Amino acid sequence: MRVNPFVLMFFVMSLSPKVGLCAAPEETPATEVKDSAVEEKIAWGKETDGLVANIRALKTAVKPGEPIEFEIRVKNVSKKDVRLYSGRAREKTSPCTWSFRFGQWEWISPSLSLRAVPLKPGETASVRCLVATTRDSMTAEQKKRRFFDAPFRNVNNKKESVRLPDGVYRVRAASQFISAREESSFVETNTIEVRIIDRR
């Protein structure tokens, strides 16, 4: 099935500072994550219909034009299966289903045909997402499948930008899923801080 990008856009624009979508580095496919004592320290976002999510940046400070790589984890904390959207057979959850927002700037994901994949009670899955901070740093797939020409869109004035301005951003991500009640829901991650700094 295909998720309508306008539906995702409407949700993204309704969030407070944070949320747009990404493509994954090909060498880092989504993986299942086993529970451990370390997982207790993960800062999960608010639970939504049995699902929680966490985001972390592999680097919290990058140079202008440098892509930002994020890892997102989702966990089913309910007693029933929920279903995540996936764009590739090997993935439980795909980068193209996650939206990111950096302050007033949003990233709209490339579009893929999606299928619903079950996540069992207590099961955790993860995926890495690469968000380009400039049009030049977008991957070939991102350029090919972009809904908008520019990587970023201002949610206040609707203007597009070929780059994410330098600065400090509080970032969170969100994704659509199907709850145990067979209803469409959105789960949000925790919020983290990312800096784009010119070190010259």
In this predicted model, what pLDDT tens digit does every residue of 107-122 receive, in sequence order? 876 766 788 999 999 9
Dihedral sign of CA atoms 190, 86, 126, 138 in order: negative
Q: How far apart are CA 112 and CA 41, in angstroms?
A: 33
**pLDDT at residue 125, rounded to an integer:** 95
Instruction: Read off the pLDDT of each residue in 132-148 and give the average, rounded to a whole number.
Output: 76
On whether the CB atoms of residues 156 and 34 are closer than 8 A, the answer is: no
**pLDDT at residue 123, rounded to an integer:** 97
**Domains held by the chain: number:** 1
Residue 153's Cβ-side half-sphere holds a number of Cα atoms within 13 Å equal to 20
Cα-based torsion angle of the residue sequence 61, 62, 68, 72 in order, rounded to the nearest 10 degrees: -10
> What's the angle, vertex CA 147, arms to CA 162 and CA 138, rounded to 5?
45
The residue range of the domain holding 155 is: 5-196
Please determine, for residue 61, whether its predicted confidence score (pLDDT) is greater than 90. yes
Adjacent-strand bridge partners of 55:
72
**pLDDT at residue 158, rounded to an integer:** 84
Look up the CATH number of the domain holding residue 174. 2.60.40.10
In the chain, the amino acid numbered 84 is L
Instruction: Read off the pLDDT of each residue in 71-86 and give the average, rounded to a whole number.
Output: 95
pLDDT band per the 50, 70, 90 thresholds, residue 149: low
Q: pTM score > 0.85 for this model? A: no
Other CB atoms within 10 A of residue 189 CB: 27
CB burial readout 66-80, b (16+ within 10 A) else e: ebbbbebbbbbebee
Q: Residue 155 class from Cβ within 10 Å (0-12 exposed, 13-18 middle, 19+ buried)?
A: buried
